[in-house]
Structure 1
Amino acid sequence: MLRSILLLLLFCGLLSIHVSAQEHSVTNMEETGIWNGLYIKARFSKHFGYYGEHHYRTRNSLDDVNSYVGRPRQIYNRAGLNIFFNDYFEAVIGPALVVNFSPDPYSDEYEPYVLEHRIWHQWLLKMPMMGRVKMYHQFRVEHRWKKDNDIGAEFEFTNRFRYKLFAYIPINKPTITKNTLYFSPSVEIFMHSGESIVYNPFEDFRTYNGFGYVLSNKVTLFAGHMWTLGQKSSGYEYKSSNIFRFNVFIGLDTRKNQQQLPKINLGY
């Protein structure tokens, strides 16, 4: 377990160095942005609950790729039935609705926004504690009906397959409790398939690292930086992005006499 943690941290560090070298060669940084997210997790019974994600995402202006703001990118809503099998395994299934805004708000060639519909399911495996560190494996599949913002574009059906490895490491306390500051490194790979996916089955790779603070038994704050690398439709070109993310996690438990920490990815 300790070896896995060290490898994860080493990989994130080496990746940052690799990014700097690649930015000036075959990989172009095409986007910066800020993603604001609200995560809600409510426990109704021993085995069932609600899971929701609600995001507002911006991206850089057209004339400055390093501006991070300037255009709306997405409004992202994901919901689902959370199923708790035991302390180490849970799943979610449900719908998602995404609003994709025009890449050029001033052009008549694009619709101002288009809707994207999804059905998604997820499995989360929690590893036993190793010292003060907890690691997770997250598997997610998304069935997507989406189209470009081009006028007259048609919907296309694709499937996306995601795997994420992440950890939670408390800093000022042995375990994550109220008023705990913690560090969370993560890496995630995205693959996709469909009629329109020919030369680019590798959709995205993300490394997302940040710090969280447990404000109360129901609220956790989190802020971090995400770097992405994606394969373009040609298959031999790649694009990258730099995103700052700010999240609020809300955990609720309607069962009697329960005062639990928010369990948005937290397994303590």
Structure 2
Amino acid sequence: MRRQFYVPENPGGHPLLCVWPPKGPLSLLLRILIPGFIFCLASSSLAGQDAAPASEFKPPVTRWWLNTYANVRLSDRLFWVAQTHLRRTESPSLDFAGQWAQIYNRHALSYLVDDHFSVSLGGVLRINFNGDQDEQNEQRTVPEWRIWHEYLWAQHLWRGKVYHRVRLEHRWTRGYETNAEWKFRNRWRYMFALKQPINRKHLEVGAFYFGPEVELIMQSGKSVVGDPLEDLRLHGSFGYIASTQVRVAAGLMYSFGQVADDLGLYKQNITLRTHVYYTPDWRATKRKLPGIHLRE
């Protein structure tokens, strides 16, 4: 059964008619991705259930992430995604930011299919830092390579927005030993997020907003035996829209996931997250430039 309802647009605009379930390419994409996602969860979970020991949770680790997100508009529908994530973790002498954990460099090209749906394809270089500095025969840092593609659907809800994000990552990782072998795994990620304004009627310049998120990250591959749950993230943040191109946010995230090669053991993390979002419009910049006259 298909249901229609109206939701508010920006001030001065017309109401937007929304249809659920969605039609067109989004409907086809969801019909393909959701069954595949469920199959991955079920098959991975059944792989080691016969010998699964009693569950045990490790003490939580504190971390601090500084994330920058740039969405450079190249044309009416094409964007260049450029993200840098600086991640630190606790050390014996300092919580949250005692030592380096990872540095991310994520890039992609993103195509805006319509006003509510976009697809992205790109690559990631992540530098992993070895937290065990007592090991003499291990490297201080190792790279991690990824190819990722993302499907993002946004919809107006009340005065704010709701987001559904499906991201698939194909990753190559290795240990810190000098001759460690590369391992290939797939990551299956789904995130549900809300953004609701606090002091304004809409998400507009000058608005403070509250943004809760929940993300499930599963993994699969030959090296994944009985530990398909990599991370379940619960994140709440407060943000501020400074201009049409700049937005900042900060929040706290609790997450837990299975530890590789140790069935029944779960890791926990408490992460302070700070975000800077920047959206330069190169398309608009080009239009502002004066024309070049080749002849009088």
Query: What TM-score, normalized to structure 2?
Result: 0.75
Match of 1:241 in 2: 269
Map Cα deviations across residues 74-108 of structure 1 (whole Å, 9 max, x no partner).
Answer: 01010000110000100110010000001223432
User: Bigger CA drift: 104-113 or 79-88?
Assistant: 104-113
Q: Which of residues 101, 105, 109 is equivalent to 1:81?
A: 109
**Residue in 2 that maps onto 1:201:** 228
| Superposed displacement of residue 133, structure 1 | 2.6
Deviation at residue 151 of structure 1 after TM alignment: 3.5
Q: 1:151 aligned to 2:178?
A: yes
Q: Are 1:218 and 2:248 an aligned pair?
A: no
Q: Shift of the alpha carbon at 1:30?
A: 4.2
Q: Give SS of 1:256's match.
A: helix
Question: Is residue 217 of structure 2 the alignment partner of residue 190 of structure 1?
Answer: yes
Partner Cα distance (1:119, 1:101) in 2: 21
Quote the Cα distance in structure 2 between the aligned partners of 1:182 and 1:30: 28
Q: CA deviation at 1:241?
A: 0.4
Contact 2:160–2:203 (8 Å) recurs in 1? no
> Partners in 1 of 2:134 and 2:263 — Cα distance?
30
How many angstroms apart in 1 are the aligned matches of 2:198 and 2:247? Answer: 15
2:69 to 35, 39, 51: 39
Any runs of at least 4 consecutive aligned residues in structure 1 with deviations exceeding 6 A, and if so which?
A: none
Residue in structure 2 matched with residue 99 of structure 1 by the alignment: 127
3-state SS of 1:217 partner: coil
Equivalent runs, 1:1-268 vs 2, <5 Å: 26-61=56-91, 63=92, 67-127=95-155, 129-233=156-260, 234-256=262-284
The Cα offsets for residues 185-218 of structure 1, whole Å up to 9 and x where unpaired, read as 0000011011110110111100111011111221
2:75 counterpart letter in structure 1:
S
1:263 alignment partner in structure 2: none
Aligned counterparts of 1:137 and 1:170: Cα–Cα separation in 2: 18
**C-alpha separation in 1, matches of 2:242 and 2:284:** 22
Partner Cα distance (2:266, 2:219) in 1: 15
SS of residue matched to 1:68? strand
Say which SS state the counterpart of residue 172 (structure 1) adopts.
Answer: coil
Give the partner amino acid of 2:151.
W
- The change in CA–CA distance for 1:71 and 1:106 in structure 2 (over 3 A counts) is farther
Partners of 1:255 and 1:210 in 2: how far apart?
31
Measure the CA separation in 1 of the matches of 2:110 and 2:117. Answer: 11
Gaps in structure 1 of 5+ consecutive residues: 2-24, 259-268
Deviates more, 1:78-87 or 1:245-254: 245-254
State the partner residue of 2:289: none
Taking the aligned partners of 1:60 and 1:150, their CA distance within structure 2 comes to: 23
Deviation, 1:247, is 1.1
Distance 1:141 1:71 in 2: 29
